[in-house]
Structure formats: structure tokens, C-alpha cells
Amino acid sequence: MDCRTGCGACCIAPAIVTPFFGMPGGKPAGVRCVHLSDALRCLLFDDPRRPQACADFQAEALFCGGSREQALEMLSALECSTQPEAHR
């Protein structure tokens, strides 16, 4: 599956716990990455400062569904399900 144009769900739903360029405290789940453009494109896509977690993510129907809304729901649910009980 190719990344869906105009989605950006993977830049919003998951947390990135390690500090990275522009977000020295990491990125909390549900918070829009500062590098997500208004057109919902990653501004660090080919930049070596792009977080490894982002580079490792591969768009798949299992995670991205059939629409941006489904992707946000699915990735948010996955993020929530991987948190320790105290954070749910």
C-alpha cells in the first residue's frame, strides 16, 4: 500500500517518545507533529533528522484502513492498546 495523500494520521496518532528535531520532548499521542504540513505531508520525509520511528512505519491497510478517518481511529486505538494500564 502506498501512503495516502492528504492523510497524516501517522504524524498525529502515535507518540514518539524520543526527542527529535523540532520536538525536543518527543511527540505525545494525538498531537500533530510540528513537521506535518498544512497539506498533511511530512516536511522531514527525506531529511536525515526524520525520526527513526517515522522512517520505519510502513503504510498498510491493517493500520491505515480505507480513509484518513479510519487511519486516525485505527492508529489511535493501536497506540492506546500498547500503553501500560496506568496510561489508558
42 in a structural domain: yes
DSSP codes, 59-73: --HHHHTTSHHHHHH
Angle at 72 between CA 82 and CA 10, to 5 degrees: 75
Computed over its alpha carbons, how large is the radius of gyration of the chain? Answer: 13
pLDDT for the residue 29: 96
Residue 31's domain comprises: 9-87
3 in a structural domain: no
The answer, yes or no, to whether residue 2 has pLDDT greater than 90, is no
pLDDT for the residue 86: 54
Classify residue 18 by its DSSP letter: S
Name the domain count of the chain: 1
pLDDT digits (tens, 9 = 90+) for 33-88: 999 999 999 999 999 999 999 999 999 999 999 999 999 999 999 999 988 765 55
Q: Report how far apart, in Å, the C-alpha atoms of 30 and of each of 39, 48, 67, 79, 80 are.
A: 18, 24, 17, 9, 10
Cβ atoms 26, 86 nearer than 8 A? no
4 in a structural domain: no
